[in-house]
Amino acid sequence: MNLEQIRAKAELECDYPKDKNCIKVRVGASADHPASADVLNRFQQDIDRCGIKAKVIAAGSSGLYDFEPVVLIEKPGRPAILYRNITPETASELVNGYLSGDNPGPDLALYSIGGEKIDGIPDSGDMPVFNLQNRIALRNCGYIEPESINEYILCGQGYSGLSSVLQMSRTDVIGELKKSGLRGRGGGGYSTAEKWKICHDTEAGEKYIICDGMDADPRARTARLLIESDPHSVLEGMLIGACVIGACRGFICVNSEYKTAIKRLRKALEQMRNYGLLGDNILDSDFKCDIEIKEIESSLVSGEETALIRFLENKQAMPYLRTTYPAVSGFEGKPTLVNNIETLSHVSAIFQNSAAWYSGIGTERSRGTKIITLSGNVVHQYTVEVPFGTTLRTVVVDIGGGVLNGKGIKAVQFGGPTGCYFTGDSLDITIDYETMNEAGGIMGSGTIEVYGSDSCAVEMARDVMSYLQAESCGKCVFGREGTYQMSDILNDIAENKGKHEDLDLLVELGEGMKNGSICGLGRTAPDPVLSSIKLFRRDYDAHITEKRCSANASH
């Protein structure tokens, strides 16, 4: 089937998206939310009882976890309205008051979207959590039904990007990707077009594509959100990558504990096969490809490319020194394209729209957007997507609501467990690759951990180093012994048994790890400790000299 035939088939099986007289009720929540199923059922029961022409849709999470279940109601002739924290009882109120009548329920509404303003309901353009985002990778999350390929095709421009690519030369596709400015979201920020070009140009009879679809950082929710809420945007990106480099086989690697994500991926792959989007002659072309799901036990080191490839080769997931890039010699010694899940969702968006559209977002050298998950002592622990060039303050304060109980911000750790700290008064730093590198930080997983003014820097550093020591694969001396020694010294300082020379030893150990570790985890593991000593020396001095915690000591 070609794209037109696929769309025609989708419209036959799913007629409500184009029905202008049909009310759409989209119930969005994380897969494990305890109330979502009851809310869905109550909406359906009451709609059936009232004889209303409406479709109830089980959408995925949008990342606004505090407000779930959220319900987006699209009533013909009216602005769409997003409602928060809906229960079965308030679902009945909305059916009786708004779907049957004309009471939009302002007390339950979060905001309205587009069209005329509604009394008592804020417009989305006035809400920081909405107007400060630019959702590209997360464009369909919370809006479409993740278990329906038809919704992705009809409501999300599904597989139009792949169709466009199949009508272009492979070099032209790489050229468009270069124009877009897309960089890998796996942490390093390497040019996606350059990586694809290396793999494309390497001659081999067999090539592979791997999607790193894991949340290696325990605070991250990016992979889970994308797979549970919009798996097809990622799978379409995988097919585009496979087509360009000439791969006939792909793997999508997922945290083994993400049972719902794995179930939805399996269903998505089955639906793709039914539409001829996997196997031979995809979209009536000579392109063929199949994709397998690989479940991987969570560990921080498994996010490293070479460790991931070793796992797929049935070896222990350990990084190794690279003499060549995986794009030249990767899985089973064949050219292998490894891309992060967020990157691949951007790929499908770029070719559904255009490289020019994408390149107009972000900064001059960091194009596009970044998914950020807020965690720690922050009011709203959202997963959001903001343009590069957005400041940490905008995300933490304007979107996240600042620290709980109105306390001040002591520190923010950006980029995951190996990210460095920023003080509360240095949050005007922008989120982009160059600025973070110049500040000694990393993009990493894009997570933000927020610490209130009553936090102790020594305990912050001790806790993160204890985790990193447990996550070290143990292969190289610098990573294995360095994290152990740093953790041991930090324990002594936190327990008021430290000495001033311990700080010099921590710095010396950290510099050695940065220069001698095999993988990125070992090289960046000292950063939280080194930055905490630099910024919050008084906290360390309080433990060493005064034998007390100085949580409120200024830097």
Domain ranges of the chain: 18-131, 149-358, 369-452, 457-545
Architecture of domain 18-131: 3-Layer(aba) Sandwich (3.40)
Q: Which of 277, 436, 449 is nearest to 372 (CA)?
A: 449
Q: What pLDDT is stored for residue 430 in this prediction?
A: 97
Does position 520 have pLDDT exceeding 80, yes or no?
no
- Mean pLDDT is highest, among 99-113, 464-478, 541-555, for 99-113
Two structure tokens written together for 93: 């109120």
Express each pLDDT in 296-311 by its tens digit.
988 888 778 888 999 9
How many H-runs (helices) and E-runs (strands) does the chain carry?
22, 14
Q: Which CATH class is domain 369-452?
A: alpha beta
Mean pLDDT of 83-102: 97
* pLDDT at site 555: 39
State pTM to two decimals: 0.95
- pLDDT number for residue 83: 98
What CATH class does 149-358 carry?
A: alpha beta
Per the CB < 8 A criterion, the answer to whether 278 and 311 are in contact is no
In this predicted model, what pLDDT tens digit does every residue of 17-72 receive, in sequence order?
A: 989 999 999 999 999 999 999 999 999 999 999 999 999 999 999 999 999 999 99
Band of the pLDDT at 522, cuts 50, 70, 90? confident
Buried b (16+ CB within 10 A) or exposed e, 58-89: bbbbbbbbebbbbbbbbbeebbbbbbbebebe
Find the angle CA(3)-CA(7)-CA(13) to the nearest 5 degrees: 145
Higher pLDDT, 131 or 316: 131
Domain 457-545: CATH architecture, name and number where available: Up-down Bundle (1.20)
DSSP H helices in 275-304: none
pLDDT at position 550 is 54
Which amino acid, 155?
A: C
pLDDT in tens, 368-393: 999 999 999 999 999 999 999 999 99
Handedness of CA 478, 483, 489, 493 (dihedral sign): positive
The confidence band for 516, taking pLDDT boundaries of 50, 70 and 90, is confident
Mean pLDDT of the chain: 94
Lowest mean per-residue pLDDT among 23-27, 398-402, 482-486: 482-486
Q: Residue 553: pLDDT above 60?
A: no
pLDDT in tens, 412-458: 999 999 999 999 999 999 999 999 999 988 999 999 999 999 999 99
pLDDT at residue 518, as a whole number: 79
Mean pLDDT, rounded, for 248-272: 97
Given a cut of 50, whether residue 552 has pLDDT beyond it is no
